[in-house]
Chains A and B, each alone.
Chain A
Amino acid sequence: MLNKTFEELKVTGSLPSPPGVVMRILKLSQSDTHSAEEISATIMTDSVLTGRLLKLANAAGSAGMQPATTISEATMRLGVRAVMNVALGLSLVSSNRTGKCEAFDYDAYWSAALARAVAAQNIARQIRGMSPAEGYVMGLLSEIGKLALASVYPEEYTQVLKSDESRINSGLARLEQDQFAIDHTEVAACMIEDWGLPASFSRALQIFERADTLQPTENRESAAMARALYCAHTMTAACLDDRGQSGVDPKVVAARLESVRTMLELEPKAFTELCSSIEREWTEWGKTLDVPTSKMLTPDEIQIRAMAPEIVVAPLPVGIVTTVEPVAEAKKPLRILAVDDDQISLKLLAVTLRKSGHEVMTAKNGEEALKLALENSPQVVIADWMMPEIDGLELCKSLRRIDYGRNVFFLLLTGQAEEDRIVEAFDAGVDDYVVKPFNPRVLLARIKGGQRVVELQERVASDRKMIMRQVAELGLMTRKLRSAALTDVLTELPNRRYAMKRLETDWDTATRTGSPLSVIMIDIDHFKRVNDTHGHDIGDIVLKETARVLRSTTRQGEETSRLGGEEFFVVCPSSTESQAAVCAERLRSAVERNLIKSGGFDGNVTISMGVAQRTPEMANFDTLIKASDEAVYASKAAGRNRVSISSTCTRKAKSA
């Protein structure tokens, strides 16, 4: 179900995606025959990425090591896997810096993501079980789901962000679930799995928010990552909360930070040092990636704020909710990238184009042009053929290989000498050419032709996008309907249909694996009397209240549903009847202790319960339900408000 929802997001084509170079690296990594050299060579076609990777390789290395100066060295030092993961993360930062979601502050998002990345990287050095480079990537991508939802549903996500008053991730996740039937953590987990990152990464994402109470059975790698992520999130949230934006009580902030220190088993002094090195590296990376950074609070400052609660901090809009003017769509002038290694030609090009009203960027060589093209997505590229290193044709080929570059209008400048080789240029994907030295009027006429093509293509693309959106919205609607069909309207618990589907699945698993499976049937005692005395409205409130208590008392994996009337049902996979009976007793006691006061009703209700476990003799799950049903009757007969176990009452029945 999860993956299905994600597939629907994916089909919109609006999910943040890594640029061509990185996609090639990911593809390479999935083939069995890839070599470290091939990967290094692919990375080196992107000079910006190369620089950033080297920086990371050197930051991850231990002190006293010679700095890595080539990608091959960095690959050896970090490992092929880590290099690819980092390439992925870094490329996303540079290609998703703006977007259409009005309430989503893209700069603030990347700034916080970068802080978490650096924090997780530093924390990974403290705990065993993960590498600093992995920490960096995980920190960077842990909230990519928010960016994804903002990209796919810019308007809807603006509404969600604006209505989110909780300002905490779990509150936001609930709103996302209501709106999209998937939340940002699930989206992030699917995305990083989709990109071929290890499964332990996505697992860590799903569990990190409860990393302080992880089961010992949890996969060690995921557990280590989850802990690092938990620490990174908590630390950066605390240290960046300089104006109390989060609205969280400073005492709580300080306590959380302290819990991180304990988890990392660090002395206060060492912890303060860790924080300051995070701040330092964050600032440095901010400069490298051109992401804004600010001053971080030190643990001491956070403690002081916690001790002085009388300072009232005016609540400010939280990190990502700021109002940004919607991007105005420029119509007529084109965004043109001009590329020539001859400065004079370049200047003439720029002046000519600007004079006719276009927006012009210039690059002195192919490499610089690729970088600018990826960052600014020009609609037209005008490039000289003859350039050292990456020439005009190679630039064109590189652009045609990536998603954005397929639609760009590519105009090649050629000398007379190259004109007879022009077929080669068209083969490379060039749209048109102009002979140098160019006549401004001819150049502008060619550009005008290009403009028609660009506008046509943009119209097609926007139509296609609209269709994709409609498909996505349809999918969303179907999903909401589907979920409505499986939910009980009154109590919002899953309904009978869902319960039976779920039991069928668990039954099959139990049959296949031989693991135990138990169920609990629940019936509210004397419910008819409540209805008759206080009316159906009060009856409904009692049902809702009971459902609420049941839901909050059952644990993860135990699925509670309402079968109908006053009947509820809990499936306990991998539980024996005695384990399920313990759970049942917990529920019974919770319902009994819960006081309901509404209208004329003031008191509690009790429940009678029947527990049954699957046995190999049972023909199907109906037999199991029937057994639990019979146990409920035994409870009723024995005086209600109790738990009966099916196997013991049948024995009693037989011996009686």
Chain B
Amino acid sequence: MIDNNDDHSNSVIDMRVIADLRELGGDDEPGLLTELIEMYLVDAPARLHDVEAGLASGDIKLVERASHTLKSSSANIGAMNLSELAKRIEEFARNQDRASITPLLAETSRSFTEAESALRALKT
């Protein structure tokens, strides 16, 4: 059984990642974290939209690409839950398995909304 206090990956935002990003910005670039969060909050909805649009139009390549990027940018900002969902979508897309993706969409969307409000609260 995993100790819940240490399992940051299950929380909406992995605070270790945030700490790393704060440290990376340091004194030279104190606004880095805020900048990254803003970037992410613009980028992620666009990728989510691409996933849905790709599914609707049958452009599975677009789904794969968009979910790939969403996976990596979410991980970069600490949104591990969302990153994990994006990873699963990417794998299904690679296997042309559209049917398995659709049920994941609602959960993905919810996970983003949670991440969004958590990240907004972190902005300084």
Residues of A within 8 A of B (CB): 341-345, 347-348, 351-352, 355, 386, 388, 415, 417, 436-437, 440
Q: Which of B1-9, B66-74, B101-109, B110-118 forms part of the interface with chain A?
A: B66-74
Contact of A351 among B24, B69, B94 (CB under 8 A): B24
Q: Does B18 contact A (CB under 8 A)?
A: no
List chain B residues, Cβ under 8 A from A440. Answer: 20, 24
Enumerate chain B residues within 8 angstroms of A341, measured Cβ to Cβ.
69
In the complex, what distance in Å separates the CA atom of A341 from the CA atom of B70? 11
Query: What CA separation (Å) do A345 and B43 show in the bound complex?
Result: 12
Is the Cβ of B28 less than 8 Å from the Cβ of A345?
A: no
Which of chain A's residues have a CB closer than 8 A to the CB of B28? 355
Q: Which of B65, B76, B91, B94 gathers most chain A CB within 10 Å?
A: B76
Known: A351-B32, A417-B91. A437 touches B75 (CB 8 A): yes
Closest chain-A Cβ to B27's Cβ sits at a distance in Å of 11
Other-chain residue from A344, A386, A388, A417 in contact with B73 (beta carbon distance below 8 A): A344
Closest-CB distance, A435 to chain B (whole angstroms): 11
- Known: A417-B90, A417-B91. Contact between A344 and B24, CB under 8 A? no
- Asked if B97 is at the interface of the complex by the 8 Å CB criterion, the answer is no
Identify the interface centre among A342, A343, A344, A417: most chain B CB within 10 Å of its CB: A344
Q: Is A347's CB under 8 angstroms from B39's CB?
A: yes
4 other contacts beyond A342-B69, A437-B75, A440-B24, with CB at 8 A cut-off? A343-B43, A347-B32, A355-B24, A436-B75
| Interchain residue pairs with CB less than 8 A apart (6) | A342-B73, A344-B76, A347-B32, A386-B68, A417-B87, A437-B76
Decide: B36 and A347 in contact? CB cutoff 8 A.
yes
A386's partner among B39, B65, B76 (CB-CB below 8 A) is B65
Closest to B75 in A: A437
A137–B91 Cα gap in the complex (Å)? 51
C-alpha gap A619/B68 in the complex (Å): 86
- Contact of B69 with A352 in the complex, beta carbons under 8 Å: no
B68: which A residues are within 8 A, CB to CB? Answer: 386, 415
Instruction: Return chain B residues, CB-CB under 8 Å to A344.
Output: 36, 39-40, 43, 72-73, 76-77
With A344-B77, A348-B24 known as contacts, the answer to whether A388 contacts B40 (CB < 8 A) is no
Q: Does B25 contact A (CB under 8 A)?
A: yes
Give complex CA distance A436, B69 in Å.
11
Interface residues of B in 22-52 (CB under 8 A from A): 24-26, 28-29, 32, 35-36, 39-40, 43
Pick from A345, A352, A355: contact of B72, CB under 8 Å = A345
Residue of A nearest to B17 (CB): A437
A384 (CB) vs chain B CBs: closest residue: B72
Residues on A with C-beta less than 8 A from B73 are: 342-345
In the complex, A388→B25 CA distance in Å? 29
CB distance from A438 to the nearest CB of B (A): 9
Residues of B within 8 A of A345 (CB): 72-73, 76
A351-B65 CB under 8 A given contacts A344-B43, A344-B76: no
In contact, A342 and B24 (Cβ under 8 angstroms): no
Please tell me which one of the listed residues A342, A351, A437 contacts residue B25 in the complex, with CB atoms under 8 A apart. A351
Taken together as a complex, chains A and B put the C-alpha atoms of A388 and B69 apart, in Å, by: 11
A436 in contact with B72 (CB, 8 Å): yes
- Measured CA separation A388–B94 after assembly (Å): 15
Most chain-B CB neighbours within 10 Å: which of A351, A352, A355, A415? A351
**Do the beta carbons of B35 and A347 come within 8 Å of each other?**
yes
The A-contacting residues of B in range 61-102, CB under 8 angstroms, are 65, 68-69, 71-73, 75-77, 87, 90-91, 94
Residue of A nearest to B65 (CB): A388
Known contacts A347-B39, A348-B36, A352-B24; A342 and B72 CB within 8 A of each other: yes
Q: How far is the CA of A341 from the CA of B94 in the complex (A)?
A: 19
The residues of B that contact A351 with a CB separation of less than 8 Å are: 24-25, 29, 32
Instruction: Find the A residue at minimum CB distance from B28.
Output: A355
Instruction: Give min CB distance, A655 to chain B, whole Å.
Output: 101
Q: How far is the CB of A267 from chain B (nearest CB, A)?
A: 60
Least Cβ–Cβ distance between A352 and chain B, in angstroms? 7
Cβ–Cβ < 8 Å partners of B35 in chain A = 347
A160–B85 alpha-carbon span in the complex (Å): 68
How close is B84's CB to chain A, nearest CB, in angstroms?
12
Given contacts A351-B29, A355-B24, contact A343 B91 (CB under 8 A): no
Residue of B24, B28, B69 most packed against chain A (CB within 10 A): B69
Using Cβ atoms and an 8 Å threshold, which residues of chain A touch B40? 344
Give the distance in Å from the alpha carbon of A553 to the alpha carbon of B25 in the complex.
78
Hey, which chain B residues are within 8 Å of A417, CB to CB?
87, 90-91, 94
The residues of A that contact B29 with a CB separation of less than 8 Å are 351
| Shortest distance from the beta carbon of B74 to any chain A beta carbon, whole Å | 9
- Structural contact, B36 and A415, CB atoms closer than 8 A: no
A352: chain B residues at CB < 8 Å are 24
Give A417 to B93 CA distance when docked, in angstroms.
13
What's the minimum C-beta distance from B62 to chain A, rounded to whole angstroms?
Answer: 9
B57, chain A: closest CB distance, angstroms: 16
Shortest B59–chain A CB gap in Å is: 12
Q: Give B86 Cβ to nearest chain A Cβ, in Å.
A: 11
Q: How far is the CA of A163 from the CA of B32 in the complex (A)?
A: 54
- Give the docked Cα–Cα distance between A181 and B72 (Å): 60
- Closest chain A CB from B54 CB (angstroms): 12
CB neighbours (8 Å) of B20 from chain A are: 440
Cα separation A344 to B24 with both chains bound (whole Å): 14
Q: Contacts A344-B43, A351-B32 given: A415-B72 contact, CB under 8 Å? A: yes
Whole-angstrom CA separation of A347 from B36 in the bound complex: 8
Instruction: Determine which of A343, A388, A415 lies in contact with B39 in the assembled complex, contact meaning CB atoms within 8 Å.
Output: A343
Cβ contacts under 8 Å, B21 to chain A: 348
Interchain CA distance A342-B69 in the complex, whole Å: 6
Chain B residues with CB under 8 A of A355: 24, 26, 28
Which 6 A-B residue pairings sit nearest by Cβ, starting from the closest?
A: A344-B73, A437-B75, A342-B69, A344-B76, A342-B73, A386-B68
Interface centre among B21, B25, B36 (most CB of A within 10 A): B36
* Distance A383 CA – B45 CA, assembled complex (angstroms): 24
A342, A348, A352, A415: most-surrounded residue (chain B CB, <10 A): A342
Complex Cα gap A531–B68 (Å): 95
Chain A residues lying within 8 Å of B36, measured Cβ to Cβ, are 344, 347-348
Q: Give, as a whole number of angstroms, the nearest-CB distance from A350 to chain B.
A: 11
Nearest-Cβ distance from residue A458 to partner chain B, whole angstroms: 29
Instruction: Write the nearest CB–CB distance from B9 to chain A, whole angstroms.
Output: 13
